[in-house]
Amino acid sequence: MAWFRKLIHVSSIRSSSLIKPRITSAYPLGLFTSLSHFSSESTIQTPSPKLSQYSGLEPTKPGEKPRVVVLGTGWAGCRLMKGIDTNIYDVVCVSPRNHMVFTPLLASTCVGTLEFRSVAEPIGRIQPAISRAPGSYFFLANCKTLDTDNHVVHCQTVTDGLDTPEPWNFKVAYDKLVIASGAEASTFGIRGVKEHAIFLREVYHAQEIRRKLLLNLMLSDVPGISEEEKSRLLHCVVIGGGPTGVEFSGELSDFIIRDVHQRYAHVKDYIHVTLIEANEILSSFDDRLRQYATKQLTKSGVRLVRGVVKDVQPQKIVLNDGTEVPYGLLVWSTGVGPSPFVNSLQLPKSPGGRIGVDEWLRVPSVEDVFSIGDCCGFLESTGKPILPALAQVAERQGKYLASLFNTMGKAGGGHANTAKDMDLGGPFVYKHLGSMATVGRFKALVDLRQSKEGKGLSLAGFLSWFIWRSAYLTRVVSWRNRFYVAINWATTFVFGRDISRI
């Protein structure tokens, strides 16, 4: 850092002698510092992969705070990090993404109803200790392997292409490890999905969808495009009739009815939305709600098609019965399954391939490893059914585990290998509070039954929409984002959606 220190020294001399230079330099005018003192030798040292490969955070010592390592920044991991008592623990988060995505509102960002930044919550705001406390960190990295015997995770940094450093490896010793790395969209082995379809789980997916939609709208207005090509370009096809697919179709429909008709008036008769589902849309909802959803979507112009996708090509999909469906935008919002990382872990799995956990969300075959969220499932031996991959489930598990860790910590079981025979108290119990989904402007469904067979309130229509909006506003993690989401909604209502293609 030698040349920096010299620069500061010269700066402080300079600021008191703005007119007359005292240091002889190649640049006589006194307004500037001079670099002529500084060595011309290279001061760069790229971290040598060998030397640094096993740098990392060493195990904590008995007097120090025990360390919780969390893999992932989704609903489960973030709720856990929020609830952990940082007087008891240090928190180290490892994830390729430095923010949480408020997934229920993600579909709204694709068409500009909300801004991308309003649905992203930086980890540093969710758990401020990560920004400030000396022993707590966020590492932009992926976990590569676990060494559960030695209580170590081996990780690799995420870098970003040209002009950024090569990725390097490091390790982090843990007292408690929580795997909350989530799931991946299922492609069912269908060819072409990853190459041509866009998923809807991350902010960059929503950004891609938005840019492509706007590009297609603009290109379709240019001379030289055939009628067939125009129809194809403006045909938006959504695969998957769960809440994500239905909400996105509803948003898109509203965008077409309102904004496209005003701002892309030349092509408003060409743009269409088709939702393709293999079974039933919103299958976890009440029958009457499903019929309501169907009616609303159809009324707003969404074509509902039952079909199974067989093949995905650059400009069309092929269904099982041979029908070809040309598209300009293809959004894939089907179910989720285990990620390659989870598949690679040498841990017992639940039916379906998720990381197997017991009723206390522990991975029972090793010490001090837990798992929450979409990536975990109850082991068959517990007799409990696998919980659905929902934000609600993940959040509840995160909250439970934080509470469990805090209790363990206070009872002296915070450090590695100290909680072997500890009584962990009550197991995790999931109680479904209800499901919500929007189906376009001012219309939503709220299904407050605890299960498909249960009784309970189910509402549809404007009241539901209002409840949905309010509920989400209270769930969004910070005041800053609550404020921004409310502002976005208000602005969209008054001014229409934003259509700059950036």
Footprint (CB under 8 A) of a second copy, residues 273-332: 274, 277, 280-281, 290-291, 294-295, 298-299, 303-307, 314-316, 319, 321-326
- Of the candidate spans 208-216, 362-370, 394-402, 441-449, the one that interacts with a second copy by CB under 8 A turns out to be 208-216
- Of the candidate spans 210-218, 377-385, 420-428, 450-458, the one that interacts with a second copy by CB under 8 A turns out to be 210-218
- Of the candidate spans 2-10, 180-188, 337-345, 401-409, the one that interacts with a second copy by CB under 8 A turns out to be 2-10
The two tokens of residue 91 are 């928190």
CB of 272 or CB of 432, closer to a second copy: 272
Residue listed under structure tokens 């640094």: 52
**Which residues pair with residue 482 across a beta bridge?**
none
Site for a second copy in 476-495 (CB under 8 A): 478-480, 483-484, 487, 491, 494-495
Rounded CA gap, 370 and 151, in Å? 12
CB of 30 or CB of 461, closer to a second copy: 30
Q: Does 272 bind a second copy (CB under 8 A)?
A: yes
Query: Could you say which of 21, 142, 186, 215 contacts a second copy (CB under 8 A)?
Result: 215
| Residue ranges of E strands in 309-443 | 309-312, 316-319, 324-326, 329-332, 336-337, 355-357, 369-371, 376-378, 435-438
- Which among 401, 470, 484 is positioned nearest to 78, based on CA atoms? 401
The two tokens of residue 46 are 């790229």
Q: Does 29 bind a second copy (CB under 8 A)?
A: yes
Rounded CA gap, 378 and 425, in Å? 18
Burial of 371-404, coded b for 16+ CB within 10 Å and e otherwise, reads: bbbbbbbbbeebebeebebbbbbbbbbbbbbbbb
- Smallest gap from Cβ 372 to a second copy, in A, equals 22
Site for a second copy in 81-100 (CB under 8 A): 97-99
Q: Does 381 bind a second copy (CB under 8 A)?
A: no
Mark 113-152 with x for binding to a second copy (rule: CB under 8 A) and - for no binding.
Answer: --xxx--xxx-x------xx-x--xxxxx-----------
- Smallest gap from Cβ 467 to a second copy, in A, equals 25
Query: Could you say which of 63, 189, 222, 474 contacts a second copy (CB under 8 A)?
Result: 222
* Cβ–Cβ < 8 Å for 377, 387: yes
Q: Does 449 bind a second copy (CB under 8 A)?
A: no
Rounded CA gap, 162 and 363, in Å? 39
CB of 214 or CB of 336, closer to a second copy: 214
- Smallest gap from Cβ 267 to a second copy, in A, equals 11
- Which among 372, 391, 389 is positioned nearest to 103, based on CA atoms? 391
> Strands 235-239 and 355-357: what pairing?
unpaired
